């Protein structure tokens, strides 16, 4: 007997339309009232998710269609949040693979599809954005089939339908030429091709925790699919862990919640095959199994890919320390990072070289920059170092992480991209014929080679290029890679920047600040094209005299400052620099602020 439940994850490369598709499934299944105003991408609940248009955390929702409950998990598409995708796939019995009808399969498409095949999950392919004028459904179909075969799909896995959809316009069809209707064909395909869970209510309880949430009222909440058995509020249960056989803890379940639309609703009982949230277990972790007291059994949990990049988080020690932040001590910083570890399986933290520093490792620059931005908005003040890749020692040899990079770029920029990546030890694997003026280049490159390149790439391609990367494997160290060619313009005094001081400094390069900004000795205020660090005074004011000359009192013409985002600043800094992060600002600075001490340190080096 199977139940009237379908547990599915919607997976795709970044920006192929997963969250927009979930919006339509929610609307057309009646979750929202007919005239209810709902913002776009309603599943992206975080501020950063809304601002950047990316999904960072996987989200659970549920809809009803023809008497069947469909539990849907909206997953991130960016490679830096791949850990989110890896673990939620343990909760579902099938995936809907979304592919852009123009871009076709991309690196993250391959990554998530491989994860689904490893777990032997049936895959339903939905080709989105079919309404794009440049859509090429027949070519993309062939590319998807090639990808299935490359990943070793068996005959059963290849027996899937193509569904053509426009999530933005709210229709799906089995025919690429059919451009109207509703999402009904997709709903029907989910019921037909994704199996329902077996009825195992009478067997001993086994519930694997795949996601952790936090609520100020009930504390930690564990989310997972009940593989077998039933669970009631106030039940006694046992927590075990497949990777930690010594863990055995008796607990009491204080609350059970099911997903209905965007809500978590209390339930008296959770039955097999359903995705539920469990409250009342203080130290519950991802990978734990809630199981029967009499017949304990731990469910195996797939190993999450290891981090490839690390940054040092450190207590802020600049002259402005403590002026803008609410949480500034090492104890507060440590506590906040530990809290993040509870819900982010891809993150690692260990003590740094000093008592007030911590080494934080993640999947990529975006992964860590989102954490930094969240902490900044919560009132934390701290400083962070340049990202460094994590090396491995294998049989005495040094191995480093390699990224698989796909670049879509205008034909006129191809030469520049190949040259720049070649210098960074990139090896070109393929180059497709240009279509629509764009060519697709595929490279293997050390993760080190991408640090600091993305900003240069956007400049080189005049903002039109698209660069995507996904972790491939560890390989032998590829040799030294040239670093940033430009130098830093550094303030050698403390005070308030003046138009007169900035006017003199801007002759040396591009400035990052305008007049009226607080600066301190050792703060980086600009970029020098000469490739060497320069000290300047940006606080200098013009001496007052009684003499007035023709034209000398004209307004100074200052170029607009280069305003960097946090990611751009992380890419810009060198090994001897840091970013001071506060709730109101972030400043680039030298690790050694005193000019004389910095000069002596560089001489010793």
The answer on whether 15 is annotated among ligand-binding residues is yes
Spatial separation of the C-alpha atoms in residues 400 and 392, rounded to whole Å: 6
- Spatial strand order of the sheet with 487-491 comes to 510-511, 524-528, 487-491, 534-536
pLDDT value at position 579? 94
User: In this predicted structure, which of 83-92, 294-303, 580-589 has the lowest mean pLDDT?
Assistant: 83-92
Contact (CB, 8 A) for 365 and 387: yes
Strand (E) or helix (H) holding 392: strand 392-394
- The first and second tokens of residue 595, run together, are 């000019």
pLDDT value at position 521? 93
Contact (CB, 8 A) for 278 and 253: yes
- Measured from the Cβ of residue 118, the count of other Cβ atoms closer than 10 Å reads 13
Mean pLDDT score of the chain: 83
The answer on whether 13 is annotated among ligand-binding residues is no
Q: Give me the domains of the chain, ranges plus CATH numbers.
A: 5-193 (3.40.50.300), 206-291 (2.40.30.10), 392-476 (3.30.70.240), 487-544+555-604 (2.40.50.250)
The answer on whether 303 is annotated among ligand-binding residues is no
Spatial separation of the C-alpha atoms in residues 156 and 160, rounded to whole Å: 8
Residue 254 pLDDT grade (very low, low, confident, very high; cuts 50, 70, 90): confident
| DSSP state for residue 480 in the 8-state scheme | -
Spatial separation of the C-alpha atoms in residues 118 and 428, rounded to whole Å: 28
pLDDT at 555 over 70: no
pLDDT value at position 564? 86
Residue 82 pLDDT grade (very low, low, confident, very high; cuts 50, 70, 90): low
pLDDT at 470 over 80: no
pLDDT in tens, 118-148: 888 889 999 988 888 888 888 888 988 888 8
pLDDT value at position 523? 94
pLDDT at 299 over 90: no
pLDDT value at position 544? 65
Nearest Cα to 523, choosing from 320, 354, 312?
320
pLDDT in tens, 496-550: 998 888 988 888 889 999 898 999 999 999 999 888 889 999 888 877 665 555 4
pLDDT at 116 over 70: yes
pLDDT value at position 587? 93
- φ, ψ (nearest 5 deg) of residue 390: -95, 115
The answer on whether 522 is annotated among ligand-binding residues is no
pLDDT value at position 605? 66
Spatial separation of the C-alpha atoms in residues 15 and 79, rounded to whole Å: 12
The answer on whether 355 is annotated among ligand-binding residues is no
The answer on whether 493 is annotated among ligand-binding residues is no
pLDDT at 551 over 60: no
| Higher-confidence position of 390 and 32 | 390
Helix, strand, coil share (%) of the chain residues, nearest 5:
25, 35, 40
pTM for this prediction: 0.75
pLDDT at 429 over 50: yes
Tell me what percent of the residues of the chain surpass a pLDDT of 70: 89
pLDDT at 346 over 90: no
pLDDT at 599 over 60: yes
- φ, ψ (nearest 5 deg) of residue 418: -60, -45
pLDDT in tens, 436-454: 677 888 899 998 888 878 7
- The first and second tokens of residue 411, run together, are 């034909």
The answer on whether 603 is annotated among ligand-binding residues is no
| Higher-confidence position of 330 and 567 | 330
Measured in whole angstroms, the distance separating CA 401 from the mean position of its chain's CA atoms is 18
Nearest Cα to 199, choosing from 230, 245, 174?
230
Contact (CB, 8 A) for 426 and 482: no
User: In this predicted structure, which of 60-64, 309-313, 400-404, 464-468 has the lowest mean pLDDT?
Assistant: 464-468
298-311: average pLDDT: 80
- CA dihedral in degrees (582, 587, 593, 598; nearest 10)? 140
Sign for the CA dihedral angle at 318, 323, 324, 327 comes to positive
pLDDT at 206 over 70: yes
pLDDT in tens, 305-326: 678 889 999 999 999 998 988 9
Residues 6+ apart with CB under 8 A from 302: 86, 87, 89, 90, 118, 119
The answer on whether 131 is annotated among ligand-binding residues is yes
Residue 81 pLDDT grade (very low, low, confident, very high; cuts 50, 70, 90): low
Question: How many secondary structure helices (H) and strands (E) does the chain include?
Answer: 15, 35
Q: Which residues of 314-332 are buried (b: 16+ CB within 10 A; e: fewer)?
A: bbbebebbeebbebbebeb
pLDDT value at position 55? 45
Query: Can you spell out the DSSP letters for 511-544?
Result: ES--TT-EE-TTBEEEEETTSS-EEE-SS--PPP
213-219: average pLDDT: 72
Spatial separation of the C-alpha atoms in residues 324 and 223, rounded to whole Å: 37
The answer on whether 130 is annotated among ligand-binding residues is yes
Strands 123-128 and 162-166: parallel
Residues 6+ apart with CB under 8 A from 457: 407, 417, 420, 465, 467
pLDDT at 39 over 60: no
The answer on whether 288 is annotated among ligand-binding residues is no
Bridge partners, residue 226, by sequence: 207
């Amino acid at each position: 007997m199977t139940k009237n439940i379908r547990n599915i994850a919607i997976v795709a490369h970044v920006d192929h339309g997963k969250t927009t598709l979930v919006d339509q499934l929610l609307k057309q299944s009646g979750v929202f009232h007919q005239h209810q105003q709902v913002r776009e991408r309603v599943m992206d609940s975080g501020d950063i998710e809304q601002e950047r248009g990316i999904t960072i955390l996987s989200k659970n929702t549920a809809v009803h269609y023809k008497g069947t409950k469909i539990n849907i998990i909206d997953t991130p598409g960016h490679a830096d949040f791949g850990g989110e995708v890896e673990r939620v796939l343990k909760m579902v019995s099938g995936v809907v693979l979304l592919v852009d009808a123009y871009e076709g399969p991309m690196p993250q498409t391959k990554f998530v599809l491989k994860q689904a095949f490893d777990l032997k999950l049936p895959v339903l392919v939905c080709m989105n954005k079919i309404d794009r004028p440049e859509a090429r459904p027949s070519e993309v179909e062939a590319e998807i089939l090639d990808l299935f075969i490359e990943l070793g799909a068996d005959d059963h896995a290849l027996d899937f339908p193509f569904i053509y959809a426009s999530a933005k316009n709210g229709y799906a069809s089995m025919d690429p030429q059919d451009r109207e209707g509703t999402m009904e064909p997709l709903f029907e395909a989910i019921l037909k091709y994704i199996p329902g869970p077996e009825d195992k209510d009478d067997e001993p309880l086994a519930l694997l925790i795949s996601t952790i949430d936090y609520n100020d009222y009930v504390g930690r909440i564990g989310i997972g699919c009940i593989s077998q058995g039933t669970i009631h509020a106030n039940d006694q249960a046992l927590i075990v862990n497949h990777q930690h056989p010594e863990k055995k803890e008796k607990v009491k379940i204080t609350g059970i919640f099911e997903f209905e639309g965007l809500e978590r609703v209390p339930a008296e009982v959770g039955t097999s095959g359903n995705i539920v949230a469990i409250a009342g277990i203080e130290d519950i972790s991802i990978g734990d199994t809630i199981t029967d007291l009499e017949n304990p059994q731990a469910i195996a949990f797939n190993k999450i890919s290891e981090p490839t990049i690390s940054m040092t988080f450190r207590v802020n020690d600049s002259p402005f320390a403590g002026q803008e932040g609410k949480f500034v001590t090492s104890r507060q910083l440590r506590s906040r990072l530990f809290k993040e570890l509870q819900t982010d399986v891809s993150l690692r933290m260990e003590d740094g070289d000093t008592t007030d520093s911590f080494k934080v490792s993640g999947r990529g620059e975006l992964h860590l920059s989102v954490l930094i931005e969240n902490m900044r908005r919560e009132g934390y003040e701290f400083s962070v170092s340049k990202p460094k890749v994590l090396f491995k020692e294998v049989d005495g040899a040094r191995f480093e992480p390699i990224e698989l990079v796909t670049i879509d770029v205008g034909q006129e920029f191809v030469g520049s991209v190949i040259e720049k990546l070649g210098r960074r030890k990139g090896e070109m694997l393929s180059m497709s014929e240009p279509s629509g003026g764009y060519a697709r280049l595929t490279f293997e490159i050390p993760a080190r080679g991408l640090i600091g390149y993305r900003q240069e790439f956007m400049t080189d391609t005049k903002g039109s290029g698209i660069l995507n990367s996904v972790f491939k494997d560890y390989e032998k160290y590829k040799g030294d890679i040239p670093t940033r060619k430009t130098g830093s313009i550094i303030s050698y005094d403390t005070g308030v920047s003046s138009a007169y001081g900035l006017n003199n400094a801007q002759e040396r390069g591009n400035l990052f600040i305008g007049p009226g900004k607080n600066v301190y000795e050792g703060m980086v205020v600009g970029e020098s094209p000469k490739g060497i660090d320069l000290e300047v005074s940006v606080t200098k004011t013009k001496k007052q005299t009684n003499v007035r000359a023709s034209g000398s009192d004209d307004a100074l013409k200052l170029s607009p400052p280069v305003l960097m985002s946090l990611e751009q600043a992380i890419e810009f800094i060198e090994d001897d620099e840091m970013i001071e992060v506060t709730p109101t600002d972030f400043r680039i600075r030298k690790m050694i602020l005193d000019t004389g001490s910095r000069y002596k340190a560089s001489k010793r080096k």
